[in-house]
A = this chain, B = another copy of it.
């Protein structure tokens, strides 16, 4: 199995390094990942400037490339141009921080997996619910191996990726794996207003991740309860339920 690995925390992050070690036990690994931190970049693509690919070696072995771009750039450039063989799966992570609920739309980790599915390759994003850079990735590695092995056999349809979120618990406290849907948690955020040495204001984003509603089967709740949540995501964004209502409203279409 040829496995393309990427992430959004940058190629040197603890999480992707743990993922490389894990994936090497089940397949041939190629790493094409951002050369620096790219969190919260959403599904960004670099179009107005060129990309560079710097060969990436680890312990003396050439494993792939570091890219001056986003996670989605990495997958697109790797599959279309850099790799000589098409990967069988794309695995993005292991992200430092929960990508359940609304985080899926901000997450570079998830966007890399989305780009993989857009290119027709079974893809998964994997994250742990801890921002601790030294978080013990042993459980996350085992889950990454388990889900990656299953990804080609469980019947995930084209255009759908698996968004895997792991609770920040010791292995002995891990309750198991649940199939979930995107939860209702959002960021209640605000900007700290600070003043620079030259007397000018600047604004820095901060906030708290809060659960609006305890939805059944929701990924945020599962993670909070100590389960690993696997949410099948797609990029069909239409609110189909409202289409008929809008069609029947002559005001909108009468022009």
Chain A residues within CB distance 8 Å of chain B: 37, 39-48, 50-53, 70, 72-73, 76-77, 80-81, 102, 104-106, 111, 114, 118, 142-143, 146-147, 150, 153-157, 160, 176-179, 181-182, 186, 189-191, 193-194, 200-205, 217, 228, 230-240, 242-243, 245-247, 249, 251-255
Q: Which of B143, B182, B238, B249 contacts A182 (CB 8 A)?
A: B238
Within 8 Å by CB of A179, from B77, B230, B247, lies B247
Contact A43 B43 (CB under 8 A): yes
Return chain B residues, CB-CB under 8 Å to A255.
142-143, 146, 176-177, 228
**Contact present for B238 and A242 (CB under 8 Å):** no
17 interchain pairs, CB-CB under 8 A = A41-B44, A42-B44, A43-B105, A43-B106, A45-B106, A76-B191, A77-B191, A80-B190, A80-B191, A81-B203, A150-B251, A154-B251, A181-B240, A182-B236, A182-B238, A231-B238, A232-B242
Q: Give the top 8 A-B pairs by smallest Cβ distance, nearest first.
A: A42-B42, A42-B43, A50-B202, A181-B238, A42-B44, A234-B239, A233-B237, A40-B45
Are A252 and B147 in contact, CB atoms less than 8 angstroms apart?
yes
Q: A237 — nearest CB in chain B belongs to which residue?
A: B233
Roughly how many angstroms separate A160 CA and B241 CA in the complex, as a whole number?
11
Residues from chain B with Cβ under 8 Å of A181 in the complex: 238, 240, 243
A51 and B232 within 8 A (CB):
no
Contact A239 B80 (CB under 8 A): no
The A interface is mostly helix, strand or loop, or mixed, namely mixed
Residues of chain B within 8 A of A53, CB atoms compared: 201, 203
Q: In the complex, are the beta carbons of A202 and B106 less than 8 A apart?
A: no
User: Does B179 contact A253, Cβ atoms closer than 8 Å?
Assistant: yes
- Complexed CA–CA distance, A245 and B76 (Å): 29
B204 engages A230 (CB within 8 Å): no
Shortest CB-to-CB span from A219 to chain B, Å, is 9
**What B residues does A179 contact at CB under 8 A?**
243, 246-247, 252-253
B-chain residues with CB within 8 Å of residue A102 when the two chains form the complex: 118, 235
A43 proximity list for chain B (CB < 8 A): 42-43, 105-106
